[in-house]
Structures are given as C-alpha cells and as structure tokens.
Chains A and B, each alone.
Chain A
Amino acid sequence: MPEKKMPGAKKGTFRRLIKLLFADYKWQFLIVCICLIVNGVSNVMPAVLLKNITDIIETGLSLGNGAWLVVRPQVIRLVAIMGTVLLFGLTAALVKGLTMATVTQGFLDKMRNRMFDKMQDLPIKYFDANGHGDIMSHYTNDIDTLRQLISETVPQMVQSSVILLALVFVMLYYSINMMLIVFLGIILMVVITKTIGGRSARYFVKRQQSLGKLEAYVEELMNGQKVVKVFNHEEKSMEEFDVYNEKLFLDTQNAGRFGNIMGPMVMNVGNLLYVLVAITGGLMITEGLHNWSLGGLLNGTFGAVISVSVIVSFLNICKQFTGNVNNIAQQFSSVVMALAGAGRIFELMDEEPEKDDGNVTLVNAKRDENGELSECSEHTGLWAWKHPHGDGTLTYTELKGDVRLFNVDFAYEEGKPVLHDITLWAEPGQKIAFVGATGAGKTTITNLINRFYDIEDGKIRYDGININKIKKPDLRRSLGIVLQDVNLFTGTVMDNIRYGKLDATDEECIEAAKLANAHDFITRLPEGYDTMLSSNGSNLSQGQRQLISIARAAVADPPVMILDEATSSIDTRTEALVQKGMDSLMKGRTVFVIAHRLSTVRDSDAIMVLDHGRIIERGNHEDLVAQKGAYYQLYTGAFELE
C-alpha cells in the first residue's frame, strides 16, 4: 500500500509518532483500534447480507406460490442478525469519533506544550540561527498537518485497510477464482496511485515552497511599503509579484490536476473490474466451471458450479473494494505532507537544550550581629551566593556585582573568532562602557556575561565565582538587561512593567516607571497604565517602548545592569531625561553600557574601545581623549559608528 513509500519523509517518523500517541493514550488507542475493527467488519456486512438474501430468494423462487411465508422467518432472522452487527458498528463509530476527538486534541495539546516547553529551554543560539517565521510554522502549519494525520488520515487508512482485509476474507470464502480476477485490478490501481499520487505529492511540496517564496516577497515589500511609495515603485513590484504568483499558480495547478484525476481513474478501473468479474461469473455459470472457495471446503461444495448469489455479492464487494482503495489513495499527499511536518516538529524536540551545570544559587540574605551572612526568605535588598560544598556544608558570599573577564576568546562559528583575549573588570558600582563599530563584539561580551553563549577560552568571574558554576536562572536574575530591540508582550502597560518582577505591586511598577521617566507619557495614554499593548506595542513610538522596557528592568532591581544601545532610539533631549532616571537606577550597581552616542558613555568609569574583537583602548573619557587615539577620533567624528 502507498503509505510504505513516502518521498521526502524521514524514516521512523511515523513509528515515533505512533509510539508517542500510544504512550499517552494507551487505552483510548486500544478502544479506537477495536472500534475500527468492529466498524470495519460491520462494513462488510451488506455484502454478506446480499449474498445470503439472494440465496434465500432463489430458494423462495424455486418453491413457487406461498413461498414468502416459508422463507419469511429466515429473512427476518437474517435481517435481525445483520441489524445487531450493524448496531455494533454504529456504536463503534460513535465511540471512535468521540474518543478520537479527545485523543486528537489532547495529543496536539501535548505536542504543543512539549514544543513550547522545549523551546523555552533552548539556548539563544537556536533563536539566532533559525528564522522566527520558521520556528512559528512548527506551531501553525506543522501542527495542522499533524492534526489532519491523526484525526483523519490514519483512522481513514486503518479503517479502509481493515475493510479491505475483511473483504479479502469474504472473497476467499466465496470464490478464490474470482478473487484472483479482483487482484488483477488491484495491482493496476496500486500502480496508478503510486505514479499519479506520487507526482501529486511532489507538486504539493513544490507548491508549499512557492507559497513560502511569495510570502517572503510580500513581507519584504510590506516592510518597505513607505519606500515603495516614495519611489513610485508600485508598478514594478506588481510585475515582480506576478512572477512569484505565476510560479505558485503552476505548482498549485499541477498538484491539483494529479490529485483530481486519480479519483476517476481508480474508480473507473473499479468499474472495468466490475464488468470483468461479471463476465467471468457469467462464463463460469454458463460453461459450468469449477469454483474453489474456503466456504466450499467447509461445507463440501468445493469445486462445484458457482451460484448467482456469489456473483452478485462479489460484484458488490468489488465496488466496495475499489472505494476503499480510492480512500487510501486520496490520503497520499496528506500523509507525505504530515510526515514532513511531524519530522520538523521532532527536529525541534530533538534540539539540545541549554545546559546548566551550576550549583551556586542566589538567595535573599541578612547579616547577623557578627556580620555573618545567613539565608532568609524575605526580600532584604541584600543578596548572597549560596555555595553547596561536597561535604554538605554551605557557604555564603555577598552579591556585590564584581565582574571580571580574563583572556576570553569566543566564536559563534568555529574558525570565525569574534572576541580575542578580552580581559576587563568591573568593580561593584562601576559603569563600564563599550564602544566600537558594528561587529566589533560589544553585544557579544554581554551575551557571554549572562551566558546566552559560553566562552571558548579564558574565564569569567562574578564576585569571584566562576560563572559556569552559577545556576543560569540565578545568574540572569542578578543581571538586568535593556536591549536595543524592544520586545513587549500582549497585555497592559502595567503587565509589561511587572514582567520584571512578577509579584511587584502597582505602586512598585509606577515607581519604576517614574524612575525611567516613563510615567508622564503613560498617564497621557488613553487608559494610562491599563492601556492594552498589542503586536509588540505597535501603538507606541519606538522611544516610548524603550522607556517601558527600562521601567521593566528597573522594577526587577538587579545588582548588575546591561544596557545594550538602550537609549539609541530616544532623542537626545528625552535621553537626558531617561539618563537622569537611569543614573538613580544605576547608583550602587555595576553597569555595562553599549552605546553609539558618546554622550551616553562619557561619564563611565572605564570605556573599552573595541575593534574586530579586541580591546584597543581603555580608560575613562578624559584619559582616552588625552591619548588622542581611536576614541578621540570617534569623539571628534572622524570615525563612523553604529
């Protein structure tokens, strides 16, 4: 049957899927299987009924007048038996339908949660390496194809297979000679399904690709819509769009054509087969040929002349057989697409999760009379690193915010080093700035401090502790980050600020907003702090969004802050306001600043000038200006920055 040869699908995907399904829904799975079998067998009943009733009618006809009264009890008995079997089939179908609804949606929910949970545990590298659209399509397209596979395709195929099997058995029972004729037709149908269905599936895959290309084109143009207008590029883009559109049309057309012609071909091969069976049957009767059958073996009529009732029911079986082969054939493309989708979902689920070997945790602490640190449950504003030792003892080190990098090397891709031999230190409360061109490695350093990426060589110490020993969540909780690209979440302004500290009161959030100088504009929004933000806060200006993200970091109250171009999209005048807020926020904290506007970094304790992954100059603003080196050139505008 066609499901064995799947172009493009990875081997084992199907088995793994069924295994998962079975693991989660063992009972339901069994119930569904039983239902499918019961239902499949009951589907064959009409053919059996027809055969038997034809026999009875023939007997009745041979009895002559008043025969109906003689055969009536037999007919009633037959109909009653059949009715019971069909009732079972009906019940089985209902139970199967209801169970499948639970199983399908439950399983999809589990898969979604598995994917999402897994995704949360993946390193940032995964998100940097894979396009957002691609990741999203796992949740939309791939899950949709999976739904189709589980709720429709597989049950349909199993059901049809059960029916086919039952029909083969019935055929064997009635006539082996005739069955061989039917098989002849089936071989032809399989060949058709394979060639035509295979082509259709191939075009379906191509169609998906063309659709993706068209979508990418439209998205790019949508993003640049203003540019399109400004340059009167509308007509040109229409022409370009039409090229993609035409390709999509051709693939869709071909996929549809081959998909559409398969049905009539299979069904009419079935019709021809029907005629062939009728002719053979007719010949067998008129020529008095032997009929071999299992039924004949059982009741001793093996090799006798075939009866009309067998031929009649065989003809019906033939119809049913064709119908079910066609059912399976129609599932061909959806199986190919679903397995490809399932394969992609498994790929995501097989990604390496972010590793965390740390055992040092961050705890609230208080100091007793002797100045000794001890752990406590309430928030004290004092934090300590808790080290468990091999012998079961615990020691506490105060969290101060002392960060040191020693001879750090790093590369995103092997052989393409981004940072060379970086050594730098930030004492508690110091403000350290990074300046340098795009690609110089500024953001990379901050990526290493919070362990979005791990260093290749060298060491990083946080309050004297190797950061690899600190549990990642605790490390990150001690670092506040404000990024250049602001990401806000659907919810109110208040919700978004509270993201920094989930148990923060409204007052704390407002306080943080005031600190970031966001309070003013927030109160001027239509619904103040309760204003709903949607699609990443598109109803706010770039600067306003940045202010909210600064407030979000402020409410978290971390001892160390990383500001990656945090003020780049705020104009200098507003920046001065934000800066004031930031200054009070930065008081007593270690801060790493990345900025291309030198006014932002001028008051830093130390400025690192990065070039091609190396620190080429370091010192405070005055020192560096006096050196008249790269920083001086930057400062006077002889260098280009971004």
Chain B
Amino acid sequence: MFRMFKKLFRSVREYKKESLFAPFFMIGEVAMECLIPLFTARLINSIQTGSDMREIMHYAWILIGMALLSMTCGMLSGWFAATASAGFSKNLRHDLYDRVKDFSFANIDDFSSSSLVTRLTTDVANVQMAYMMVIRIAVRAPMMLIFSIIMAVNLGGNLAFTFVAVIPILGCGLLMIARKALPVFRAVFKKYDKLNESVEENVRGMRVVKSFVREDYEKQKFAIAAGNVRKDFTKAEKILAFNNPLMLFAIDFCMLVIPFFAARLIVSSGGSSMMIGNLSSLMTYSMQILISLMMLSMIFVMFTFSIESARRITEVIDTESTIKNPENPVTEVKDGSIDFENVDFKYSEGAQKFALSDINLHIASGQTVGIIGGTGSSKTTLIQLIPRLYDVTDGTVRVGGIDVRDYDLKTLRHEVSVVLQKNVLFSGTIKDNVRWGKEDATDEEIYEACRLAQADEYIQSFPDKYDKYIEQGGANVSGGQKQRLCIARALIAKPKILILDDSTSAVDTKTDALIRKAFAEEIPDTTKIIIAQRVASVEDADMIIVMDNGTISDTGTHEELLERSPIYREVYESQTKGGEEDA
C-alpha cells in the first residue's frame, strides 16, 4: 500500500509547493484557533474580576490580531489546497491517459474501455478528495487534538483527565463502527454498480424490451434488485447512524462532568485555583478535542473508500503496454513484402483455442491479395498481426524481410496502413479526419487521396465540401461514404502496405470496382491486402487466401480456387447464383 501511494504522489509534480503550503498554513490556522480560547479565558477572567477597560482592550486587540491571522492562514491554506488537489488530479489524469494511449489491445481488453473511463473520472475524483483531506483535515485533526489537549491540561489541570476517560471510549467506538460498516458498504457498492449496469442494458435494449413486451418483467426484475440494494444500504447506514449519538454522548459527558468539578474546584478554593473564564474555555477545548476525533474517524472511512480507487488507478499506471518499442529499432521499411512463418496466435494466455494456427505465407511487395472466409475464421486476426496491433504467440511475422517486433512502432504503422472493419470517424471536418493519416497533408494531397478512394464526388456535393463537419462516429454520412473516407484517410499516408478489412461492404459494386482500379493504376507498388465478403472484390487479385477456422485452407488465384477449394466455390456460388441467370 505504501508503494502505491508513493507511485501516486509522483503525479503531484509542479504542485509540490502548494501541497506543502496548504498544511503549513493549516498548522498556523490551528495554532491560532487553539490560542484564541486561552486569551478569551483571560478576557473573561478580567471581566469577572472587574478589571478596567484597558486590560479588556489589551486582550481584545490580541484576539482581533489572532482572528485575522487565523483567517488569513485558513484562507491561504484552502486556496493552496484547492490548487494542489486539482493539480494533482489533473496530473493523475494526464499520467493515466498517457499510459492508456499506448496500451495494446490485449491491455484494453483486460481492463475494458468503460472501466478505463471510470478510472479516469470517478476514481481520480475520489483520490483528489482524499488528497485534499490529507493536506488539510489529516493535518488539522491531529494538530487540533494535540494543541487542544495541551491547552486543556494547561487551563484545567486535573479536570483534563476527564478526556482520559472519554477519548478511549469514543475512539474505540468510532473505530468499531467504521470497521463494521466498511465491508457492508463495499459489498453494497458492488451490487449498486451491477444494478446500474442492468439499467444501462435496459436503456440500450429498449427496442427489444418493448418488442417482446417485457416492460413489466423488467420492472419486476429491477424492483427486486433495487430492493436488495436498499436493504443492504439501509443496514450499512444504520450502523453508521450510531456515530453521531456516540459522539454526542462523549460531548455531553464532558459538558456535565467538567462544569461540576470545575464548580467544586472554583468554589472550594475560593476562586484561587481556577476561574470562570477557564471553565468556559475548557469547554471550548473539550469540544475541539472531540470534533478532532470525529474528523479522524471520518478520514479513516473516507480513506478506506478511496484506497480502492487508488488501487484501480495504480493498476493502470503499473501496466506496461504488452507491445513496446524494441531497443535500437529499425526505422525504415525496405519494401512491402510480408512473410508469416509458423505463426500461432491466441488472444489471451488463458484462451484454450488458438485464433490462428500454423500460418505460413509469403506475399511479395506490390502484390494484391484477397482474403475470403466465414465469420470467425480469423481473417481480421491475421491482418492485425502485420502492423503489430497484436504480437504473435509463436512464430514470426516479417515485413520487408525484418521481424515486425524489431521495427520502431511508428515507422511500422506508418508504412502499414489498415482500413479497419469496425471503422470510426471522429468529430471534426472531413479534412481533419483525412489528416489523421498524415498530419501535415496539404489540401491538394487530401483531394488526391479522396479522388483515389472515390470519395471526392460525393464530398463535392456537400454544401461545405471538404469542410463538412462529421459528427461523432460519422453519424451524418452514409455507411458507404464513411468507408470511402476511411480509405482516403489510409491512402494519404502513402503506405508500403495497404490493408482493407471488409472496408467496401457498404460501397456499391461499381464504386468498389473503381476503387480497385484506382489502386491498380495509381499505387501499383503498394502491397494491397483486401478482406472481403464479395468474391467480386477479390477475384482479380494476384493471390486469394481462403481462411477457415483459424487456418489457411487454400491459396491461389480465382480460377485455381474455383477448381479445388470447396469453401471458395460455395461462397462464389451463393453470391452469383441467380445473378448470372438474370445477367
């Protein structure tokens, strides 16, 4: 746990100054707060003994000075603490994102992206709160406790021993309540998260719920789950409900015992060993002592809650990306040739099934290669190994004759451009989106790439043309338009290898053919790999790979495969049957 905090505190960085100032001024504030009752006691005593106004004013000025000093210290402490904690959380978010952005897909799958978002937001907010507490309250409470006890002993002498009786009772009680309540809370928070997850499922699947007329079923299901959460929360809160009365008991005890003995002491000593002002201030100190204890127990509870968040954050920070740049990386890709040598691959170590097994393949630079295969035949998996989105489990993948693991990641991914199946556009103009491929691309280059991808024509039909704003996820362009933009985005980088993963499925056959024609004519030297559902998209490739269940079932040209691959023939026939009759 200690190491965990050390790691987290590394993110304080430029806010160290503020992080030190905050507790420093807090000590000042607490010192003043503890001195003030001492002087008010003197003030009251001088009123009681009928001293003249000069003496009263003397103490009054001291008190005013102290109040102003306390206010200044308090404000400064609060001011710095706000900056320190907000800054700390900013740096934490930065560091988290810095990690996450380099995560491999294996890493992201491990965490799930929604949990990463929660860690970046809710968990950081919890830690921020805890941090603010540490530099303020965690300094304030013990200081206050110590100062107040010293002052109480100083003022009340033996009467201060009342605290000796009360503090252990209160401390033990508070600790017991916290220890009993915490596990209950932890368990119920998990249930609560589950409940909210199920609501989310419902919101997303409302069409399904309504289509199957399951509204009442869902209501019942929810009522039961929510009822469980309520029961557990109530139980936990009832345990916490003893906190306040216990605290009151301690305060009340002091409030009754101290005046009684003080009265005895003052009266029987004839006012010589103690004065009324002391009694009044003694009561203030006892209040401060007990409140500090309460704060300490609160810190304890809050802290245990945020430890979970802290753990979740360090977990991310501790995770090294499974795909890292090698030392002395190769920074140039010679050509677009690709070799798979005895490649096996599975997504996680625990997976029983290999997603790819025994893949051997040679693709010469500049070739056009088609890949065909059923759902789950691992076509996408195969091509993701080329830009090293995943690392092989066994064997080697070589690009330009060199193991992909020896390349600088940037170089490799720059030269191997992939148009993904699950493709995404980002909010921004068309130009912004295409520039993802090449940050410093000129407008001319963008137009050129879009022309190649057959996107220029429809872009020209938009009122804003290339400045049209694309909404999140590309919601305001059609699927075919989106796919062509994604192709343009990949093309603009002028890669040595271009991979299209089912990227023209929504594009009409004519445009699809035009795109392929443009590829053949304009970028003949680029190695092109095309995964497709339509046989038409791959039939004139130099080589077609037929995938089946994670293995290469056959490779060859269209004619060869038609003759000898039953799978290929089946796909071909299912798509052309009838079509030919009509043609």
| Cβ-based interface call for B423 (8 A) | yes
A502 and B217 in contact, given A61-B270, A268-B68 (Cβ under 8 angstroms): yes
Cβ B74 vs Cβ A261 within 8 A: yes
| Cβ-based interface call for A408 (8 A) | no
A116 and B263 in contact, given A94-B245, A135-B203, A311-B47 (Cβ under 8 angstroms): no
A490 and B426 in contact, given A50-B259, A86-B255, A252-B89 (Cβ under 8 angstroms): no
Interface residue stretch chosen among A312-320, A398-406, A418-426:
A312-320
| Cβ-based interface call for A97 (8 A) | yes
Task: Show 19 A/B contacts (Cβ-Cβ < 8 Å), sorted by A.
Answer: A50-B279, A50-B283, A60-B266, A64-B270, A67-B268, A86-B248, A140-B196, A215-B117, A220-B472, A222-B116, A231-B413, A249-B89, A256-B81, A260-B77, A279-B60, A316-B284, A477-B212, A481-B207, A489-B198
Within the complex, the shortest CB–CB distance from A601 to chain B, in Å, comes to: 12
Cβ A261 vs Cβ B575 within 8 A: no
Question: Which residues A208-249 have CB closer than 8 A to chain B?
Answer: 211, 214-215, 218-234, 236-238, 241-242, 245-246, 248-249
Report the nearest A residue to B222, measured CB to CB: A116
Taking a contact as CB atoms closer than 8 A, the residue among A93, A282, A481, A640 that contacts B244 in the complex is A93
| Cβ-based interface call for A452 (8 A) | yes
Within the complex, the shortest CB–CB distance from A166 to chain B, in Å, comes to: 16
For the complex, give the distance between the alpha carbons of A97 and B181 in Å. Answer: 14
A257 and B267 in contact, given A275-B67, A285-B50, A483-B207 (Cβ under 8 angstroms): no
| Cβ-based interface call for B44 (8 A) | yes
| Cβ-based interface call for B79 (8 A) | yes
Contacts of B256 in A (CB 8 A): 49, 79, 82-83, 86
| Cβ-based interface call for B3 (8 A) | no
| Cβ-based interface call for B105 (8 A) | yes
Chain A binding surface SS class: helix
A256 and B478 in contact, given A109-B230, A229-B389 (Cβ under 8 angstroms): no
Question: Which residues B36-65 have CB closer than 8 A to chain A?
Answer: 36, 40, 43-44, 46-48, 50, 52-53, 56-57, 59-60, 63-64
For the complex, give the distance between the alpha carbons of A271 and B35 in Å. Answer: 12
Within the complex, the shortest CB–CB distance from A220 to chain B, in Å, comes to: 6
Taking a contact as CB atoms closer than 8 A, the residue among A215, A450, A552 that contacts B121 in the complex is A215
| Cβ-based interface call for A104 (8 A) | yes
Contacts of A227 in B (CB 8 A): 420, 423-424, 426, 436
For the complex, give the distance between the alpha carbons of A190 and B238 in Å. Answer: 34
Taking a contact as CB atoms closer than 8 A, the residue among B198, B208, B570 that contacts A487 in the complex is B208
Cβ B40 vs Cβ A278 within 8 A: yes
Report the nearest A residue to B44, measured CB to CB: A312
For the complex, give the distance between the alpha carbons of A100 and B240 in Å. Answer: 11
| Cβ-based interface call for B218 (8 A) | yes
A265 and B71 in contact, given A98-B241, A312-B44, A450-B211 (Cβ under 8 angstroms): yes
| Cβ-based interface call for B276 (8 A) | yes
Q: Mark interface residues in A533-544 (1 if CB within 8 Å of B CB, else 0).
A: 001101001111
Question: Which residues A422-446 have CB closer than 8 A to chain B?
Answer: 437-439
| Cβ-based interface call for B6 (8 A) | no
| Cβ-based interface call for B242 (8 A) | yes
Within the complex, the shortest CB–CB distance from B405 to chain A, in Å, comes to: 16
Q: Which 9 A-B residue pairings sit nearest by Cβ, starting from the closest?
A: A264-B74, A260-B78, A637-B509, A97-B241, A256-B82, A487-B205, A642-B479, A268-B71, A101-B237
Contacts of A87 in B (CB 8 A): 252
Contacts of A136 in B (CB 8 A): 196, 199-200, 203
Report the nearest B residue to A286, measured CB to CB: B53
| Cβ-based interface call for B273 (8 A) | no
For the complex, give the distance between the alpha carbons of A228 and B125 in Å. Answer: 26
Report the nearest B residue to A279, measured CB to CB: B60
A261 and B510 in contact, given A53-B259, A113-B223, A490-B197 (Cβ under 8 angstroms): no
Q: Mark interface residues in B87-102 (1 if CB within 8 Å of A CB, else 0).
A: 1011001100110011
Contacts of A1 in B (CB 8 A): none
Cβ B201 vs Cβ A487 within 8 A: yes
Taking a contact as CB atoms closer than 8 A, the residue among B73, B222, B510 that contacts A638 in the complex is B510
Cβ A61 vs Cβ B414 within 8 A: no
Contacts of A67 in B (CB 8 A): 267-268, 270
Contacts of A132 in B (CB 8 A): 200, 203-204
Cβ A499 vs Cβ B60 within 8 A: no
Q: How many A-B contacts are there with CB distance less than 8 Å?
A: 457
Within the complex, the shortest CB–CB distance from B287 to chain A, in Å, comes to: 9
Contacts of A211 in B (CB 8 A): 121, 125
Taking a contact as CB atoms closer than 8 A, the residue among A90, A316, A438, A536 that contacts B249 in the complex is A90
Question: Which residues B402-450 have CB closer than 8 A to chain A?
Answer: 409-410, 413-414, 417-418, 420, 422-424, 426-427, 436-437, 439
| Cβ-based interface call for B324 (8 A) | no
Cβ A570 vs Cβ B375 within 8 A: yes
Contacts of B87 in A (CB 8 A): 249, 253
Question: Which residues A275-297 have CB closer than 8 A to chain B?
Answer: 275, 278-279, 281-283, 285-286
Contacts of A230 in B (CB 8 A): 387, 389, 413, 417-418, 420, 490
- How many residues of chain B are within 8 Å of chain A by beta carbon? 165
| Cβ-based interface call for B460 (8 A) | no
Interface residue stretch chosen among A120-128, A380-388, A458-466, A585-593:
A120-128
Question: Which residues A69-108 have CB closer than 8 A to chain B?
Answer: 71-72, 75-76, 79, 82-83, 86-87, 89-91, 93-94, 97-98, 100-102, 104-106, 108
Cβ B90 vs Cβ A271 within 8 A: no
| Cβ-based interface call for B456 (8 A) | no
Report the nearest B residue to A287, measured CB to CB: B53
Interface residue stretch chosen among A5-13, A334-342, A572-580:
A572-580
| Cβ-based interface call for B361 (8 A) | no
Contacts of A68 in B (CB 8 A): 264, 267-268
- How many residues of chain A are within 8 Å of chain B by beta carbon? 168
| Cβ-based interface call for B557 (8 A) | no
For the complex, give the distance between the alpha carbons of A229 and B389 in Å. Answer: 8
Contacts of B102 in A (CB 8 A): 234
Question: Which residues A327-353 have CB closer than 8 A to chain B?
Answer: none
Cβ A226 vs Cβ B259 within 8 A: no
| Cβ-based interface call for B29 (8 A) | yes
Cβ B413 vs Cβ A229 within 8 A: yes
Cβ B47 vs Cβ A220 within 8 A: no
A223 and B473 in contact, given A257-B83, A271-B63, A283-B53 (Cβ under 8 angstroms): yes
Question: Which residues B457-485 have CB closer than 8 A to chain A?
Answer: 472-473, 478-480
Taking a contact as CB atoms closer than 8 A, the residue among A56, A97, A452, A538 that contacts B242 in the complex is A97
Within the complex, the shortest CB–CB distance from A167 to chain B, in Å, comes to: 15
A231 and B196 in contact, given A220-B472, A246-B90, A279-B56 (Cβ under 8 angstroms): no
Contacts of A233 in B (CB 8 A): 436
| Cβ-based interface call for A374 (8 A) | no
Cβ B50 vs Cβ A231 within 8 A: no
Known: A108-B233, A132-B200, A264-B71. 4 other contacts (CB 8 A): A132-B204, A230-B490, A245-B93, A490-B198
Q: Mark interface residues in A601-630 (1 if CB within 8 Å of B CB, else 0).
A: 010000000000000000000100100000
For the complex, give the distance between the alpha carbons of A285 and B44 in Å. Answer: 12
Cβ B424 vs Cβ A483 within 8 A: no
Cβ B219 vs Cβ A116 within 8 A: yes
For the complex, give the distance between the alpha carbons of A602 and B533 in Å. Answer: 18
Contacts of A98 in B (CB 8 A): 238, 241
Question: Which residues B224-283 have CB closer than 8 A to chain A?
Answer: 226-227, 229-230, 233-234, 237-238, 240-245, 248-249, 252, 255-256, 259-260, 262-264, 266-268, 270-271, 276-277, 279-280, 283
| Cβ-based interface call for A199 (8 A) | no
Report the nearest B residue to A63, measured CB to CB: B267
Taking a contact as CB atoms closer than 8 A, the residue among A64, A75, A218 that contacts B117 in the complex is A218
For the complex, give the distance between the alpha carbons of A236 and B510 in Å. Answer: 36
| Cβ-based interface call for B574 (8 A) | yes
Question: Which residues A127-163 have CB closer than 8 A to chain B?
Answer: 127, 132, 135-136, 139-140, 151
| Cβ-based interface call for A510 (8 A) | no
Contacts of A269 in B (CB 8 A): 71
Taking a contact as CB atoms closer than 8 A, the residue among A97, A268, A282, A640 that contacts B508 in the complex is A640
